[in-house]
């Protein structure tokens, strides 16, 4: 029995240890990445109708790891979310996006709001709103040039706290969007209580829109719901003209996806803003 126990330990312990080491290693590396400037932002346009009307940009974080190369946010954001590291990363993203807005304004570009993705843990952190208002002041920007995207699940964690934070954001003129909408379980009464402006239809529904009745119905339902609540709908992950046309017929207003633009470095986004037809 003793022998068997030792064998088991040899089989399982190293594996578990390596998971722990990997995670801890990545966490450590993210701290270093912040210090060494390995993160950057790419910007994906949000369009109204067609490619020539860009009404906003979404900032997406990129990590250029010195050895591993590009690491996807899908692989490191969830780990960062397990600790206050996500707050540090979120603050870096906010600072970088607003710094970029300030630079673009200085060279005379017509600005559009930049959306940043914020985790629930960060949203309800005491420093969140003061940090943002401090940065808006420092870069001499109106809150109207900032948008916060939060996923639906966040809303269910601490609703009263969410409402308070969102009201403070609204007082600064910041737009609030619910990301990946349709994948969580928020009830309509929750939605009504929250001062949100935009619903982003999750790309899994957009992807199957027109192909499967269920997904088509979900898209339609979200668009109608949004209209009744006087919210804007954005379809994310639009990859084909067919999807865009169908969503347009359903009354969707704003689009984002590879069919229009892929995420791009700030220099390319600046070129687009330069050519952008404004309303």
Q: How far is the CB of 56 from Ca ion (least distance, A)?
A: 11
- Please, which residue, 56 or 143, has the CB nearer to Ca ion? 56
The correct pick among 237, 244, 253, 266 for binding ligand C2E (CB under 6 A) is 237
Binding mask 75-104 for ligand C2E (x = CB under 6 A): --x---------------x-----------
- Please, which residue, 141 or 235, has the CB nearer to ligand C2E? 235
The correct pick among 67, 74, 126, 230 for binding ligand C2E (CB under 6 A) is 74
- Please, which residue, 30 or 250, has the CB nearer to ligand C2E? 30
Taking CA atoms, 195 is separated from 76, 114, 124, 158, 174, in Å, by 30, 19, 15, 15, 11
Work out whether the CA dihedral 182, 185, 189, 192 comes out positive or negative: negative
CB 143 within 8 A of CB 174: yes
Q: How many residues bind ligand C2E (CB under 6 A)?
A: 19
Quickly list H helices, the chain.
2-36, 73-80, 85-106, 120-123, 128-138, 152-155, 159-171, 188-193, 203-208, 213-228, 241-250, 266-275
Q: Which does 74 bind (CB under 5 to 8 A by kind): ligand C2E, Ca ion, none?
A: ligand C2E
Q: Round to whole Å and give the CA distance between 221 and 188.
A: 12
Question: Which parts of this chain interact with ligand C2E (CB under 6 A)?
Answer: 44, 60-61, 72-74, 77, 93, 117, 119, 179-180, 236-239, 257-258, 263
């Amino acid at each position: 029995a003793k022998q068997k126990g030792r064998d088991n330990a040899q089989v399982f312990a190293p594996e578990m240890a390596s998971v722990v080491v990997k995670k801890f290693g990545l966490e450590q590396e993210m701290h270093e990445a912040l210090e060494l400037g390995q993160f950057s932002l790419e910007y994906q346009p949000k369009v109204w109708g067609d490619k020539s009307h860009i009404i906003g940009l979404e900032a997406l974080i990129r990590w250029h790891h010195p050895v591993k190369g590009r690491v996807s946010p899908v692989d490191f954001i969830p780990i960062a979310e397990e600790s206050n590291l996500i707050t540090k990363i979120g603050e870096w993203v906010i600072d970088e996006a607003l710094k970029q807005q300030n630079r673009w304004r200085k060279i005379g570009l017509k600005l559009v709001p930049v959306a940043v993705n914020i985790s629930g843990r960060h949203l309800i952190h005491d420093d969140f709103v003061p940090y943002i208002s401090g940065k808006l002041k420092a870069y001499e920007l109106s809150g109207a040039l900032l948008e916060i995207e939060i996923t639906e699940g966040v809303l269910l964690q601490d609703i009263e706290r969410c409402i308070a934070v969102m009201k403070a954001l609204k007082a600064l003129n910041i737009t609030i969007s619910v990301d990946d909408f349709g994948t969580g379980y928020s009830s309509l009464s929750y939605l009504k209580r929250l001062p949100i402006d935009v619903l982003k239809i999750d790309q899994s529904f957009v992807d199957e829109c027109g192909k499967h009745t269920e997904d088509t119905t979900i898209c339609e339902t979200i668009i109608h719901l949004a209209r009744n609540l006087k919210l804007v709908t954005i379809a994310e992950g639009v990859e084909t003209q067919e999807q865009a046309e169908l969503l347009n017929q359903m009354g969707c207003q704003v689009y984002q996806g590879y069919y229009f633009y892929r995420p791009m470095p700030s220099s390319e986004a600046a070129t687009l803003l330069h050519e952008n037809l404004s309303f």
